[in-house]
Structure 1
Amino acid sequence: MKNLGRWIGGGAIGGACGIALSISIGVVKHYEGTELESYPDPVGIPTICTGHTGPTVKLHQTKTPEECEALLAGDLGKAFDAIDRDVSPEINATMPPARRAALASFVFNVGEGKFARSTLLRELNAGNVRAACDQLSRWVYAGGRRLAGLVKRRATERELCLAGLEQ
């Protein structure tokens, strides 16, 4: 857990939800970066700001930094909502902030649909937290290619997910 302090030490907003949000913002910003002009991601999906995609994103768009912050807040809000919907209430109630942050970063990146159908979620809801966290290492492909950036991101998410579990 050599890098864990880097994410957790980033300053909490307050309370468990605020801590999870603060950590997830740091992880997502680190791995996504922020571009004010839209660009195609590694598999060609039009993307703008901090990893924002969707039907309204077209190439050659621009956004202000404030618009990008609003998009990130909305996208992460949707990721946390997905966790609240899909993770069983018993597991969700006891989930530490670092694990919530890891899952929010993951859901932000792959989408709620893939999360909802994942072995990761099934393992988590069955109470097999270590097995669930270990699933993150499998999600390193985009467009059929293993991407170095996803390998690094999933390693960080896995480290956060496992935080607090006994070795």
Structure 2
Amino acid sequence: MSLKRRMAIGATAGALSIATAVVSYYEGYQPTAYRDPVGIATICYGHTATARMGQTLSQAQCTQLLQADLGTAFAAVDRLAQVDLPPPTRAALASFVYNVGEGAFARSTLLRKLNAGDLRGACHELSRWVYAGGRQLNGLVKRRATERELCLEGIKEEPTP
């Protein structure tokens, strides 16, 4: 296996590890379904797609859902971003997509700035996404601050030509 391939695998694993830590911290672990702040049935680490009230899942099932949902979020970032992203920036955006969904990301000013090459401006757009159901939520303010810092950290790591 080539060094370039090994480095790509390492970078991917690094981004996945970072995103897993951020998402699991901010989503929290709840094995029994509950309603999120806007009333959506949610379970485990913020999983909504197949959650239904009254449902309880094991830690292993919740971990599988987290991995699958993060895989979906990373795939959306990789498909929609038309620029190369350093692992911390990619992890921050995957955490963001995990939380707001691919559709919101696809229609966002954040993505437009990203694809225009304004990575710093794109990272700063994260701070605008702190509302749910028309209310600013402190948890989202904190999460977006972490994602923004991580996003910007990735840009700082980029070598200058």
User: Which of 133, 137, 153 is the matching residue for 1:143?
Assistant: 133
User: Which of 48, 51, 54 is the matching residue for 1:53?
Assistant: 48
Q: How many angstroms does 1:57 deviate by?
A: 1.4
CA contact (8 A) 2:92 2:147 kept: yes
1:73 aligns with 2:61: no
Q: Which runs of 5+ in 1 are unaligned?
A: 1-13
State the distance in 2 between where 1:108 and 1:138 align. Answer: 16
Superposition pairs of residues 1-167 of structure 1, within 5 angstroms: 15-54=10-49, 56-88=50-82, 91-92=83-84, 95-165=85-155
Q: How many angstroms does 1:134 deviate by?
A: 0.5
CA pair 122-100 structure 1, distance change in 2 beyond 3 A:
same
Q: How many angstroms does 1:165 deviate by?
A: 3.6
State the distance in 2 between where 1:69 and 1:124 align. Answer: 30
For 1:39, give the aligned amino acid: Y
Q: How many correspondences in the alignment?
A: 148
Q: Which runs of 5+ in 2 are unaligned?
A: 1-8, 157-161
For 2:11, give the aligned amino acid: A
1:10 corresponds to: none
Q: TM-score normalized by structure 2?
A: 0.90
CA contact (8 A) 2:73 2:102 kept: yes
2:159 corresponds to: none
- Identical aligned residues as a percent: 63
State the distance in 2 between where 1:57 and 1:29 align. Answer: 17
RMSD in angstroms over aligned alpha carbons?
1.0
- Over residues 7-57 of structure 1, what are the superposed CA-to-partner deviations in whole Å (9 max), with x where a residue is unaligned? xxxxxxx60000000000000010000111000001110000000002x31
Q: How many angstroms does 1:112 deviate by?
A: 0.2
Secondary structure, aligned partner of 2:61: helix
Q: TM-score normalized by structure 1?
A: 0.86
Secondary structure, aligned partner of 1:61: coil
